Amino acid sequence: MKRVAILGGTGFTGAEIYRLLSKHPFFQVEFVSSESKAGSPVDKYFMAFRHGKRTNGLKFSKISDLNSKYDIIFSCLPTGVLPQVINQVSLHTDYIFNVSGDYRVTDLELLQQHYPETLKHEFHGSSYYYIPEFSRIDRNVKVVNLPGCMAVATIYSLYPLLAHDLIENRIVTDAKTGSSGGGKTTTEHHAERTNNFRPYKVHGHRHKPEIEFAFKTYFDKEIDLQFSTYSLDLPRGIMVTSYSILKEQVSEIDVKKAFYSTYASPPFIHYFNSNVGHNSNPMIKTVAGTNYAEVGVYVDGNNCVSIASIDNLIKGAGGQAIQAANLYLGFPEETGLQSELEGVWP
């Protein structure tokens, strides 16, 4: 059994990781932090265990109470908090799997604009941006940074097109997200979101530079991205739509071959290679509660529309982090996530 600690255990993502790991055969959670709930029983706090009894006796602790070595630590702290404690926390583990935004980009100007707290605290270790389906494993780093939920869904929608050099530089993406993506401290009132659909950030969302950084890292290619986000009247789920222009001589067959070859092997990517029928397209309801991403692509002349849907708390956060940890520790990437493969329908 691998010893696991979770930082920021009372947030949506921390709670989801704890729930998922309760079924993991090789990971044992032995520490969950919460500055406000320290001393309280962990299982009594989580709604996922409302109808069952658990007797592990684990209680919330403060981060300063870390006094042991863990095989891995999942950091689900709000953006800006991990840099304040990173040097202390890194002494207690080989790997920190980080789902907050603090170390996703390395450009100083972008950090100052989107993650100013990161720059206030010097980190003595190294970090790495990691997407389980596309990135190599670097065992020399201390912090493994998982992509943002809307960022990774966008990357899934565009990766085959850019990897095979099929589209022009200009890309327009809109991302629709459920309310849990804003975390528990969101300022958007329930009455504003219910029975409504509205723009959240038309310009300036911090996932835009993250997406651009990711593709520059993978392909050494600058993309001209317009990235806008919208609020859905749903608790969880993301639907991303990317609009691009095919290069000359690129055909619909070329596009479909690129998507098929890219997503034939990854166990958690479901590519719809046929668009016939209403059940042959990505949607949110069929990925909610799972670690799956659904991807589809549609070509009309030189116009290309590519779509991806995910559960923001699982594939966009907690499940992806567990998937990454499985790979880093040498377990099959599906381990502990098999029970989360089937969505509820209708």
Selecting among 81, 149, 284, 287, the annotated active-site residue is 149
Residue 162 φ then ψ, to 5°: -80, -35
Residue 221 φ then ψ, to 5°: -135, 125
Q: Locate all alpha helices (DSSP H) within 95-148, ordered by sequence.
A: 108-114, 116-119
Residue type for position 94: D
Pair 207, 227: CB distance under 8 Å: yes
304 is annotated as an active-site residue: no
Please state, in angstroms and rounded to a whole number, the distance separating the CA atoms of residues 341 and 126: 33
Pair 148, 99: CB distance under 8 Å: no
Could you give the angle at which helices 207-219 and 149-163 cross, rounded to 10 degrees? 30
Query: Do the bridges between strand 93-98 and strand 143-145 make them parallel or antiparallel, or are there none, so unpaired?
Result: parallel
Q: Nearest 5 degrees, angle CA 18-CA 13-CA 142?
A: 85
Which residue in 295, 332, 288 sits closest to 314, CA to CA? 288
Which residues carry out catalysis? 149
